[in-house]
Amino acid sequence: MGESLQDREVLAQTDSSNEFKILPDVILVGIGGHSIFDRGRAALLPLAEELSTARSQKHKMLLGVGGGTRVRHTLAIALDLGLPTGGIAQLVGAMEECNAVFLNALLAKHGSIVMQREHFWELPLYLSTGMLPIVISIPPYHFWEPPPEDGALPSHGSDFGLFIHAEVLGMKRIIFVKDEDGLYDRDPKKHADARFIPRTTLEALLADMPAELILDRQLFACWKDARHVEEVQIVNGLKPGMLLRALAGEPVGTIITKETRRG
């Protein structure tokens, strides 16, 4: 009790291979704001129907949403006004809450509920009572967003924010629903010869990171030191059935695993 909590020896003693996992059997499903929500009813209504089917199949899920174009506009205005990083993060969270409300309206009859950031600790109760919680992807840091290394943009983007949700809750799997089949070595929207990567490991990605990524780079940097998330899967939400197949454990889209590749 008399030691500094910043002492390296004290910090080393807090490491444990038996860290308690709060919700290890719940899958986090992250729905892209720009890739899904911004496309309107053509993309979102079929996906909402797929989520209702997944719920009827008793998949234990936590839904997370991104903000999409509204977030990008908000960032542009906030940067022009010279707002600090914490203030920008607060505004981004408010924009993402709009998409959470939209999705909740579509899934309300199936027991969905928007989880407010201030009630994060109630999430296990929502799940145990049969609800389908929807969270925003910016973590509940509000104005205390850590200062970024470069510029003023919050380092906790949508993908990384959902990763933090999953890691803190001890979840093993995350499924990101995007508008591409998965991970490529280059952006397939710009390069017709982009190579699809159906399966890889975190170690392989960190050793040879593509210049253009469909997920936040910060996610991979953090995952290296994370303790709980074992697998990240990326599926195309514009193709019916892909999410259901991923929830069922099928190797669709791109699968990225934490362990070292063998063989």
pLDDT tens by residue, 36-76:
999 999 999 999 999 999 999 999 999 999 999 988 899 99
Residue 12 pLDDT level (bands cut at 50, 70, 90): confident
Which pLDDT tens digit goes with each residue over 94-106? 888 899 999 999 9
Which pLDDT value is given to residue 89? 87
Distances (CA, A) of 238 to 2, 28, 121, 200: 56, 19, 33, 23
Which pLDDT value is given to residue 150? 83
- The one-letter code for the residue type at 236 is N
Q: How many CB atoms lie within 10 A of CB 128?
A: 8
Stretch (H or E) spanning 195 = none
Mean pLDDT of the chain: 90
Residue 261 pLDDT level (bands cut at 50, 70, 90): very low
Which pLDDT value is given to residue 24? 94
State what percent of residues in the chain have pLDDT above 70.
93
The token pair at 62 is 């936590």
Residue-range domains of the chain with CATH? 21-257 (3.40.1160.10)
Q: How many CB atoms lie within 10 A of CB 6?
A: 7
State the pTM of this model.
0.91
Residue 3 pLDDT level (bands cut at 50, 70, 90): low
State what percent of residues in the chain have pLDDT above 90.
64
Residue bearing the bigger pLDDT, 49 or 8: 49
Q: Is the four-CA dihedral 126, 131, 137, 143 of positive or negative sign?
A: negative
The token pair at 227 is 């303790």
Q: Is the pLDDT of residue 262 over 70?
A: no
Axis crossing angle, helix 85-107 with helix 69-81, rounded to the nearest 10:
160
Q: Are 133 and 115 within 8 A, CB to CB? A: yes
DSSP assigned state of 136 = E
Q: Is the pLDDT of residue 247 over 90?
A: yes
Which pLDDT value is given to residue 9? 77
**What is the distance between the alpha carbons of residues 149 and 173, in angstroms, rounded to a whole number?**
29
